Amino acid sequence: MRKTSKVIALLLVLLMAFSVLITGCGNSTKSDQSKTSENSSTQNKTETTSQPVTLDIFQFKVEIKDALQNAINTYMKENPNVKINLETVGGGQDYGAALKAKFNSGSEPAIYNVGGPQDVATWKPKLADLSDTKAAKAALPGTLTGVTQDGKIYGLPFDLEGYGLIYNKQIFSKAGIDPSSIKTFDALVNAVKTLDSKKKELGIEAVFAFPAKETWVTGLHLSNAFLSPEFDGDVMKAFNSKTVDFKYGDAMKQMIDLQNKYSVQPTASLDYSTQVEKLFGTGKVAMIQQGNWVYPTLESLDKNFAQNDIGMLPYPVPGYKEDSYPEGVPMYWAVNSDKPADVQKAAKDFLDWLYTSDEGKQIVTQQFKFVPAYTGYNSNSISDPLGMQLFVAASQGKTYGWVFMGYPNNWGQNVLGADIQLYVNGSLSWDKVISHAKQAWADARK
C-alpha cells in the first residue's frame, strides 16, 4: 500500500489540477450549472425503480449521522418510491459485533459497511458485486484494492481519512510552541514537556486525553502507524501474512508511554466522547490522537474553534517516517446480495447519487466534511482545515497507508487493543502485550 499511497497522492494532485480546470469551466454561466443540476436530478429519478422499495441502512460513522439523514430525506423527496431507514452504530460501540447481531436477528440491512479484505472474506456470501456502479468507476485508483476479489468489487469507499495529533493552536501559542517545528518524535517529546510544565498557566488539565478504553484508537489506528512499515503500507500484505514481527514495537511503546504519562487519568477508562467533546473541545487538553473525522463534532460544539483554532501534527514513527500522516479509506459501503434484485438496484442507485451526482458531491464535501475518494470533485470544496491539511500532505507525499483492515478478525481491538488497555493501567507488561499479539496473529492465520 506504500505504492497505493503514492498512487492516491498522485491522483489527488491530478484531481486538484483537474478540479481547477473544472472550476474555471464551471464559472461560465449560472444557467448552465442550473441545467446540469436539473438534468442530473431528472436522470436520478428516471434511473431508480418505479416500484415502491425500502432500504435499510446500517452504518458506523456517528459523525455524519445527522448529515446522512438529511441526505436521505433529500433523496426520498426526489424519489418518493424509495423509503430509506437509517441506523447508526459506532463511536464507542463495536460496529462489527453489532452488524453480526443484526444479521443473526434476521433484520438484514440492504446497505452496510465492510472494512477491507478481512471483512470481505467474512461477509462475501452477503456481498453484491458493485462493479457496475458509477461510484466504483469513479473511485480513485488504489482505493478499491482491499475490497476487490476475482475481478469483482465488493465495496465503495466512504472517503479518504487521515489522523495524527490534533492540537489546540491557542494553547500552543500561549506556550510559545511553533507547531510547524514539530517534525520528529524528539521534537514532539520536547513540546509535550513544555506544555506539561505550563499546565496551570495554560489552564489545562493535561497535555493529552489518551482514550485507551477505545480499542479502535489503540489497537487499530495507533498500531497501524507502527505496523504499516512492516507490511510496506500494503493492506493485502498484512492480510496474507502468517505472522507479525512488531519491527517498530519499541517506537510504538514510546508513543503509548508518552500519551499515557501526560494524559488525563485514568486512560484505561477514558472514552471517545470524553476525549473529543469534554476535554479537547473545551480546551482542557492541548492534544488528542484523532483524525479529520472529528471535525463535524468539534464544529457542532464551537464553529469558530473548529474552523480557526485546530491543526494536526504528523504522527511520527522513529526509524520510518516522522513527518507524515497515516491516510486511507476508513470503511466501505456494501450492498446485501441476499436482497431482491430491485432492492439491490435501489441501493446502488442511492450510493451512485450520493457520490457522483452534483447534489451528492455537495453533500459529501460540505455536510459530511469528507475528503473525497472519487474523481470529479472540486478540491476547493474541502471546507474543513483538517481535511485540507491532509489533502496537502498527500499531494506532498507525506502520507503512509493503512493496513489495519488486513489484521486477523478481531485481533486489532479484542487482542492488541484490549492488552494495551491492561498495559496502561499496569496490569500487563509490554513484553506480554507483544508476545500475546504475535501468537494470536499466528493462531488466526493457521
Q: Note whether 204 and 286 are within 8 A (CB).
A: yes
Other CB atoms within a 10 A radius of the CB of residue 171 amount to 21
- Domain of 215 in residue numbering reads as 162-328+401-444
User: What gap in Å lies between CA 47 and CA 75, rounded to an integer?
Assistant: 13
Most confident of the following: 138-147, 166-175, 322-331, 394-403: 166-175
Q: How would you write the chain as a 3-class SS string?
A: CHHHHHHHHHHHHHHHHHHHHHHHHHCCCHHHHHHHHHHHHHHHHHHCCCCCEEEEEEECCHHHHHHHHHHHHHHHHHCCCEEEEEEECCCCCCHHHHHHHHHHCCCCCCEEEECCHHHHHHHHHHECCCCCCHHHHHECCCCCHHHEECCEECCEECCEEEEEEEEEHHHHHHCCCCHHHCCCHHHHHHHHHHHHHCHHHHCCCEEECCCCCCHHHHHHHHHHHHHCHHHCCCHHHHHHCCCCCCCCHHHHHHHHHHHHHCECCCHHHCCHHHHHHHHHCCCCEEEEEEEHHHHHHHHHHCHHHHHHCEEEECCCCCCCCCCCEEEECCCEEEEECCCCHHHHHHHHHHHHHHHHCHHHHHHHHHHCCCECCECCCCHHHCCCHHHHHHHHHHHCCCEECCCHHHCCCCHHHHHHHHHHHHHHCCCCCHHHHHHHHHHHHHHHCC
Q: Please, which pLDDT band fits residue 305 given cuts at 50, 70 and 90?
A: very high
Give the model's pLDDT for residue 42: 39
In this structure, is residue 264 part of a structural domain?
yes
Tell me: do 195 and 315 sit in the same domain.
yes
Tell me: do 270 and 349 sit in the same domain.
no
Tell me: do 354 and 438 sit in the same domain.
no
Q: Please, which pLDDT band fits residue 18 given cuts at 50, 70 and 90?
A: very low
Q: Is the pLDDT score of 133 beyond 90?
A: yes
Domain boundary among 339, 361, 376: 376
In this structure, is residue 431 part of a structural domain?
yes
Model pLDDT for residues 67-93, shown as the tens digit of each residue: 999 999 999 999 999 999 999 997 667
Tell me: do 76 and 152 sit in the same domain.
yes
Q: Is the pLDDT score of 439 beyond 60?
A: yes
In this structure, is residue 134 part of a structural domain?
yes
Tell me: do 175 and 148 sit in the same domain.
no
User: What gap in Å lies between CA 431 and CA 267, rounded to an integer?
Assistant: 20
In this structure, is residue 432 part of a structural domain?
yes
Domain boundary among 342, 376, 410: 376
Tell me: do 179 and 137 sit in the same domain.
no
Q: Is the pLDDT score of 107 beyond 50?
A: yes
In this structure, is residue 121 part of a structural domain?
yes
Query: Number of structural domains, the chain?
Result: 2
In this structure, is residue 396 part of a structural domain?
no
Model pLDDT for residues 352-390, shown as the tens digit of each residue: 999 999 999 999 998 998 888 998 887 777 878 998 898
Q: Please, which pLDDT band fits residue 278 given cuts at 50, 70 and 90?
A: very high
In this structure, is residue 395 part of a structural domain?
no
Tell me: do 272 and 358 sit in the same domain.
no
In this structure, is residue 359 part of a structural domain?
yes
Task: State mean pLDDT over 151-162.
Answer: 95
Tell me: do 191 and 279 sit in the same domain.
yes
* The dihedral formed by the CA atoms of 149, 150, 156 and 160, expressed in degrees to the nearest 10: 50
User: What gap in Å lies between CA 123 and CA 157, rounded to an integer?
Assistant: 16
Tell me: do 439 and 319 sit in the same domain.
yes
User: Cα angle at 114 between 111 and 115, to 5 degrees?
Assistant: 155
Tell me: do 214 and 264 sit in the same domain.
yes
CATH number of residue 151's parent domain: 3.40.190.10
Give the model's pLDDT for residue 181: 96
Tell me: do 289 and 242 sit in the same domain.
yes
Tell me: do 66 and 81 sit in the same domain.
yes
The three cell numbers of residue 141 are 485508483
Query: Which residues are CB-neighbours of 192 under 8 A, at least 6 positions away?
Result: 207, 208, 258, 262, 287
